[in-house]
Structure 1
Amino acid sequence: MTKDATRDTPTRLLDAARAEFAKFGIAGARVDRIAERAAANKQRLYSYFGSKEQLFSTVLARAYRELGEQVPVPTTREDLEHYVGRIFDYHRRDTSLVRLLAWEGLHYGDAEIPGEEERQAYYLSKNETLGKALSLTSPQEVGHLLMTLIGIASWPFVVEQQRRLMAGLAPASEEGWDQLRASLTSYACAVINSLAPAPGPGASP
């Protein structure tokens, strides 16, 4: 193994773990398969991440950072109206994040999750930004809105069989994907307007 490959071992382990966890969940994932895929050994994995659960937590935190970089939190109302479409596009390119979240929910249920405080801080920051974009002062209202918008964008990828059965959407149908995206974006705008109606044409900026 080259010096560069050795230096990059944590990244290779995280990439391999993301694929493994997305497919098999926390309980079903196997450390030996992750290590083999990353061309590393199990001892190296444990020395970097401590346990399989901590590795999962690190993988999920890394996936969240990637989402934040590619789909920044909207800072204006106009950006917010496009937010669902952008999240939809992100998950269509890569469903691993929604799969990781689904497995996390099945594994931990309503119990506290590793890194919970960090995750809460992440969403509090999102809530503050969205609240400013819509001039909303209730953190609860903003939290409900964020949950609704993310749910609209993500649900078709969390339960792919339901998307196929309900919408008759074949994976190869680009027209079907475009229609679904347009519908979800329209519904998201209706939700936003119901909570914070858009200013009229003569309103002050």
Structure 2
Amino acid sequence: MTKRTETTRALLLDAARAEFAAYGIAGARVDRIAERAGVNKQRLYANFGDKEKLFQHVVGDALDELSQAVALDDDTDPAAYVARVFDYHRSNPKLLRLLLWEALHYGEKPLPDEENRTALYEDKLSSLAQRLGAPPSLDTRHLLLSLIGLAAWPQIAPQLARLIVGPDVHGEKGQERLRDHIVGFVRSATRTTPHAPEDDTDGAT
């Protein structure tokens, strides 16, 4: 790949992230993306094929950035992980918007890159199980989903946070208090979470 091609792809991906975050897959316009990037729209098709493939590249890059910024390793404290993910989403709201648009577009249908996305979370699951000192289980899967949800939901639905907690929740101190509450909740939960085997059958005959 030439330097010029790399630059073109980077410009298109940056422009597409803003467009998709604002309008979703169905509402995004290739013309607007190309114009924002300062690139002929034919270069978009040449580099990414079509709008849905471009969207998957955008989401994949955004998730990679999150994973690089906030790693979940074998020695990562779950509460500290949630705190860092919470902070990341506050500073980088476009990823959650992209995921919401993706959910609206695909619903329960498999994603085009379902296998790769599943592998990403399997790695996180293994690290979390290692940290908890137990083999991966259904409980561990539920816990990982809960951790991600706790970190993301206040940014996904800020109106609910305001209605339930009050308008001060969106200020700096309000966000710090909410973050501290979530961290404390996770610390309490991970001290008491049972770790049942992946197979829930009891083997009785």
Separation (CA, whole Å) in 2 of partners of 1:173 and 1:92: 12
What's the TM-score once normalised by structure 1's chain length? 0.89
Q: Does the aligned pair in 1 maintain the 2:25–2:55 contact within 8 Å?
A: yes
* Aligned mate of 2:164, from 163, 166, 178: 166
Pairing 1:137–2:135 present: yes
Separation (CA, whole Å) in 2 of partners of 1:6 and 1:103: 28
Number of the residue aligned with 1:46: 45
Number of the residue aligned with 2:84: 86
Number of the residue aligned with 1:95: 93
Distance change >3 Å, CA 14–CA 90, structure 1 → 2: same
Question: Which amino acid is the alignment partner of residue 146 of structure 2?
Answer: T
What's the TM-score once normalised by structure 2's chain length? 0.89
Separation (CA, whole Å) in 1 of partners of 2:162 and 2:145: 23
1:37-65 superposed Cα distances (whole Å, 9 cap, x missing partner): 11112110011111111111110110111
Pairing 1:31–2:30 present: yes
Pairing 1:9–2:23 present: no
Shift of 1:139: 3.0
Number of the residue aligned with 1:202: none
Separation (CA, whole Å) in 1 of partners of 2:39 and 2:123: 36
1:77-98 superposed Cα distances (whole Å, 9 cap, x missing partner): 6x22211110000000011111
Shift of 1:6: 5.5
Shift of 1:35: 0.7
Question: Which amino acid is the alignment partner of residue 68 of structure 1?
Answer: S
Shift of 1:171: 7.1
Question: Which amino acid is the alignment partner of residue 73 of structure 1?
Answer: L
Shift of 1:140: 1.8
**Identical positions, percent:** 45
Q: Does the aligned pair in 2 maintain the 1:134–1:196 contact within 8 Å?
A: no
Q: Does the aligned pair in 2 maintain the 1:16–1:38 contact within 8 Å?
A: yes
Number of the residue aligned with 1:128: 126
* Aligned mate of 1:180, from 170, 178, 181: 178
Give the RMSD, CA atoms, in angstroms: 1.9
Question: Which amino acid is the alignment partner of residue 37 of structure 1?
Answer: R
Separation (CA, whole Å) in 1 of partners of 2:194 and 2:40: 53
Question: Which amino acid is the alignment partner of residue 137 of structure 2?
Answer: P
Partner of 1:138, secondary structure, is coil
Separation (CA, whole Å) in 2 of partners of 1:61 and 1:106: 17
Question: Which amino acid is the alignment partner of residue 8 of structure 2?
Answer: T
Distance change >3 Å, CA 176–CA 50, structure 1 → 2: same
Separation (CA, whole Å) in 2 of partners of 1:43 and 1:130: 44
Partner of 2:159, secondary structure, is helix
Distance change >3 Å, CA 170–CA 19, structure 1 → 2: farther
Partner of 1:82, secondary structure, is helix
Number of the residue aligned with 1:113: 111
How many residue pairs get aligned? The number is: 194
Gap runs ≥5 in structure 2: 196-205
Distance change >3 Å, CA 30–CA 170, structure 1 → 2: farther
